[in-house]
Structure 1
């Protein structure tokens, strides 16, 4: 039977664990809040950029201006590139498994249709998952989320952009979790290349925008 001293020691130990757990909860809540603020701050920029590109393309088509760019070129898909974005850590429910499962489905889809697949992994969990199963991983980026920098994103984009413009791959897709709320993220498969900006419809198509230095020049600059 436990002595009074042992009982007191256990009570003190439990209280210490409670304090540590509470501190971890506070830190996690602060990190989550910062991540949410970052996501919400960057979405308007990405959405507007896509909108501007779509309007430029539609206006140049309407006005019969020359519209050619390597990143808009659509080809028969003989070699696809899939960018799989997971986390560097686990203990996050189905966050990583949903991405790896969807990535596997996309790989199988292209292979069943006779296409080769280049796999780029962003995040340690995705890299480890596919490495254990013997997948040929072209490149991996791990431990980049703690101090995510613009140059890191540029390096990733330039890698598959050069593969595309050199015609070594014919299509680029990214598989990632789209943030809805703290308890809901949905896996999306989004085509990155060739570019398919959202084309405006109806009256929005004929809005009279004035572009400087010009439509074609701005289009080239944005791409």
Structure 2
């Protein structure tokens, strides 16, 4: 049985850990509120911009001329993996890594065997996980979530688009967590490039519409397609940020509960050990008194 001093030290240690997990839960809750507001404001804009792009490109004669729509035989693949920079958020990062490995196995197994699958990591944890597994980590955008802004994500999107347009990669996918609620995140593995040819719903559900483009069809698409891709990636990063804070809040709440249960058990052990020590001392005193009497 552990000594009283050892049990006392463990109680102090667990108490300190519980205070830390409580503080981290409160910080995550505050960050979650801001992150949730950001993603709720972004979703309608991103959806509307995507619909606009689908409508314009479906009616544009030069829509297929964009290099970002060029469909090539898939030889080299880039997978954008959005994880966190820090741990202590449950299975948040592990689930993303597993989903990415599953995507590679099911969709890009042949390219992976030839070493033609590279990782574009947004977040340190994803970069570290795939580097350990021997994958080529093309770029790591670390510490992005500490200063999360559209400008930083825009640079990442522009780099991805340049590499695709130059022919360095033939396909780009994005793997990220979509925020549903504090306890639930939905993993998405979405194609990013080339842009899929969208069919305008108006052509199937209503009369055909002839669009008048001002200043011009080609100029509008040159501006709209890159902007839509940047917003799409920015939304994925915002979704991941909100999901991370929700996962961390849940993990720290569970850790605090576990610490409380552990404290109950340790206090019970402490009381039993203390009582056993007192009983032993009493027996020794009684035994000594009996020995003196005899």
Flag the 1:174–1:204 CA change in 2: closer, same or farther, 3 A.
farther
Flag the 1:20–1:92 CA change in 2: closer, same or farther, 3 A.
closer
1:139 corresponding residue in structure 2: 139
CA contact (8 A) 1:80 1:110 kept: no
Residues 52-81 of structure 1 show CA distances to partners (whole Å, capped at 9, x for unaligned) of: 010011122xxxx23311001111101111
- Specify which structure has the higher proportion of strand: 1
Could you state the TM-score of these two structures normalised by the residue count of structure 1?
Answer: 0.82
Give the number of the structure whose alpha-carbon radius of gyration is greater: 2
Shift of 1:174: 0.6
The count of aligned residue pairs is 211
CA contact (8 A) 1:110 1:117 kept: no
1:168 corresponding residue in structure 2: 168
2:84 aligned residue (84, 87, 96) = 87
Could you state the TM-score of these two structures normalised by the residue count of structure 2?
Answer: 0.64
Residues 73-110 of structure 1 show CA distances to partners (whole Å, capped at 9, x for unaligned) of: 11110111111111111222221111101112233345
Q: Distance in 2 between matches of 1:57 and 1:30?
A: 41
In structure 1, stretches of 5+ residues that fail to align are none
- Specify which structure has the higher proportion of helix: 2
In structure 2, stretches of 5+ residues that fail to align are 226-294
Give the 4+ runs in structure 1 shifted more than 6 A.
16-20
Q: Distance in 2 between matches of 1:140 and 1:133?
A: 16
Q: What is the root-mean-square deviation of aligned Cα atoms in Å?
A: 2.8
Instruction: Please state whether the residue corresponding to 1:173 is helix, strand or coil.
Output: strand
1:100 corresponding residue in structure 2: 97
If asked which structure has higher relative contact order (CA below 8 Å, sep 6+), I would say: 2
Residues 24-48 of structure 1 show CA distances to partners (whole Å, capped at 9, x for unaligned) of: 4433222111111011111111111
